[in-house]
Chains A and B, each alone.
Chain A
Amino acid sequence: MTAMIQLSNVSKWYGSFQVLTDCTTQVAKGEVVVVCGPSGSGKSTLIKCVNALEPFQKGTVLVDGISVGDPKTDLPKLRSRVGMVFQHFELFPHLSITENLAIAQMKVLGRSRDEAHERGLKYLDRVGLKAQAAKFPGQLSGGQQQRVAIARALSMDPIAMLFDEPTSALDPEMINEVLDVMTGLAHEGMTMMCVTHEMGFARRVADRVIFMDQGHIVEDCTKEEFFGAPRGERAQQFLSKILQH
């Protein structure tokens, strides 16, 4: 199996504080990997290293064979091929839903307005929100905004998708509509790296689960192994805590 995303011995510091220590893992093409762990353990930082939203000081990150940390790498181009979905959606509030979907297609990929709108609408339809095309982000519910954000990322034809706690800012009744879209994507073979505490989602669709604690990857195993008998004490504590909910 070829790795779509390969992290090797990645370390990162904020000043003297080490956020990531020697993180090594990979996501194969078509694989779905769930990253979990306590708050502050470095999950967001790790996933942002994949598309260079965060620089790192040691180690290497390869995306589709391209080194993210290499100063010669065309980062905007690399990022345009990796979709990212954020905890707080980050739709552009001054643009309509249609414009949100089209802007990067036009300005980054150089697609024509018509083509960008057509593709945007196609993915908007896919997440069940075609009727909202003319609205602005502030007029949609959180769950709807997050589905638009997923459609926006998909309309760039990404080779992989990164999710950073896509449902943790949502009201409980909206979580499933977003997870359903993500599940559909996973079943279609999208390569996905998802930071999430939705263990039901992990059980259903993940191939592997990574558990992080204090900047270390402390578990990295198949979901069967992870949910069967996580080896470390920290992972067990974490699991029993969140499964209580």
Chain B
Amino acid sequence: MMDFSQIVPALPALADGMVLTLKLLAMSVAGGVVLGTLLALARLSSLPLLSGLAKFYVNYFRSIPLLLVISWFYLVVPLIYTWLTGSFEPVGAFTSCLVAFVMFEAAYFSEIVRAGIQSIPKGQVNAGYALGMRYDQVMRLIVLPQAFRKMTPLLLQQSIILFQDTSLVYAVGLLDFLNAARSKGDIVGLPHEFLIFAGAVYFVISMGATQLVKRLQKRFAV
């Protein structure tokens, strides 16, 4: 017989795990969208070197597993931090993971942003220039606001995937929601119950968010 009653006393610890998951998610999405937007602009630049570098970056990170990036940054980020600042203060696993997610997700977000920018008619760009705007103003005031509106459903979809992928931080020992559930389950000797519960929570959140995206898609389609 399954015994789910032991989950109740473990809820505070699980909630801590969920907070870490959501914090990592929110910061990764924010950083990934910013870096992804810069990559998209570089990729669309008329300077061959800049667009070549951006293209290489995107293709590189889309060709390697996220787990590898996480493990690799866990080792490398502290070294770079020491090299940059000269300080040997230890860099936490959270920071390493955040850097890994931002850099990895930026590759995916940049492809979404690039498609979004390209979907804005050239006439809008010309209208901005004709009014005397500079490149950065045309992008910031005219193109990106329209592009982001169109892209919101896709960006959310990618964020839902990232929500699930944050569980990979178990590899470097971070106590995210899944890892918290697993370790708690092991401690009380009910691993199956805790994993089933964790699965249900991921399912409800992801499905809820997906429904939201579908609704947004309908609204933005008008």
Contact = CB atoms under 8 A, between A and B. Distances in A.
Interface of A: 48, 51, 53, 76-77, 79-84, 86, 88, 90-94, 103-104, 107-109, 152-153, 156
A81 B132 CA distance: 8
Given A92-B142, A103-B141, A84 B132 contact: no
Given A82-B130, A90-B123, A108-B133, 20 more contacts: A48-B126, A51-B130, A53-B126, A76-B133, A79-B130, A79-B131, A79-B132, A84-B126, A84-B130, A86-B126, A86-B130, A88-B123, A92-B127, A92-B142, A94-B149, A104-B131, A104-B133, A108-B131, A108-B137, A156-B132
Contacts of B131: 79-80, 103-104, 108, 152-153, 156
A80 B123 contact: no
A84 B124 CA distance: 12
A90 B124 contact: yes
Contacts of B215: none
Contacts of A92: 124, 127, 142, 146
Contacts of B52: none
B132 A80 contact: yes
Contacts of A80: 131-132
Nearest to A86: B123
A48 B124 CA distance: 14
Say what secondary structure dominates the interface of chain B.
helix
Of the four ranges (under 10, 10 to 19, 20 to 34, 35 or more), the interface on chain B belongs to 10 to 19
B145 interface: yes
A104 B142 CA distance: 11
